[in-house]
Each structure stands twice: as structure tokens, then as C-alpha cells.
Amino acid sequence: MTERVSYIESGLEVRLPQGEHFRFQDLRAYHALKGAHLREMDFCWIHNGEIVMLELKDYTRLPDLSEVRDRFPRNIAKKVADAAFMLFAVWTVREGAKDLRKELPRWACTPKPLRVIVAVRVRADEALLWAEAFRRLRDATVGYAKLADMNRGRKIFVWDYDFLQRKSRAIGLEVRALD
């Protein structure tokens, strides 16, 4: 059995295969780029020849979510675009990405299909209000998906935490709710 590394993020324990994942936030090169207003996804790993990028958001403890819901599609779309663009810069051997290339696992340095999963936990009484924000996120990422050839076979997903937990093994990770 593959050794796993455990992380606590947004109310979940996420376990990923040792050596088969990375976090941009753990890379010194990313922190140098972060000052240039680049954003990252929480986790990236290799599964069945695809690089899977996962963003987790837990909005169950925030009192007023109307402003968060309004900004959500734009903020998450930027994270998706920035993370994909960093990988594309590495894959096309751009000078600005040379330090990222040095720190990324070797498998992440060559082009691979991308799959993006945004998993969100919201209060049950807010679920219908969030449906519109999720639709706007899908709309906001359509262009990115086309540019990255992610439009074949729907490669950008918005899931709730329960669905992520049910699907986790099928996408190469283990997920457990902490509360």
C-alpha cells in the first residue's frame, strides 16, 4: 500500500499519496510569485495520468455570506487560472517558471491533462442560495477549460463535501470530515 501524507484543510483531513502530490503553498518559488498576485489551489496530485487540482472551501461558520457568494466565482476562477498557468509556464519552459520547475515533482513538469475539483461546504439553509454562485463559477471557467483542452469530458467540477468524501478513493485520495 502506498504511504500517505495527511493534511488538515477547511474542516477535512486529506490524505494524499507520498511523492505523488504537491502543494504550491509549500514551494519557495510560489511564494516569490505570490507577491505578483498569483493564487494557488490547495492540493495537486497525479491520478490515472491526470493532474488533479483541488480547492476546499468551508463556508459553514461565516455569519454573512452574501458578499462571499458574490465574489466566490471570480476568486475561484482566478485560482484555477493561476494554478493552471503556473503549470503551463513550467511545461513550456518559461524563464519565469524555472524556479517552480526545480521544486515541482518530475511528473508535474511535463504536460498532462488537468482535472479541477472545487469542493465547498455550506450550511443546509444556504444551499439554494449557493446554487447560483456555483453556476457562475462554471460559466467563469468555461474559457479556461477550452484553452487548456479541459472541455472534453467535463474536467472542472464543483462538489459538496459529502460528494467529495464519497468519490475520494476514485480520484486517488482519502478524505475524512473532522466534525
Q: Of 20-34, 88-102, 128-142, 160-174, which gets the smallest average pLDDT?
A: 128-142
- 56 pLDDT tier (thresholds 50, 70, 90): very high
What's the mean pLDDT in 31-45? 91
Backbone angles phi, psi at 57, to 5 degrees: -140, 125
**Residue 28: CB partners within 8 Å, gap ≥ 6?**
99, 103
pLDDT value for 149? 66
Rounded to the nearest integer, the mean pLDDT of the chain is: 89
Amino acid at 94: R
Asked if residue 152 has pLDDT above 60, the reply is no
Would you tell me how many other CB atoms lie within 10 Å of the CB of residue 63?
4
Cell numbers at residue 148, please? Answer: 487548456
What's the mean pLDDT in 111-120? 92
pLDDT value for 142? 79
**What DSSP element (H or E) covers 106?**
none
Rounded CA gap, 45 and 105, in Å? 10
> Is the separation of the CB atoms in 119 and 164 below 8 Å?
yes
Cell numbers at residue 169, please? Answer: 478513493
Rounded CA gap, 89 and 144, in Å? 15
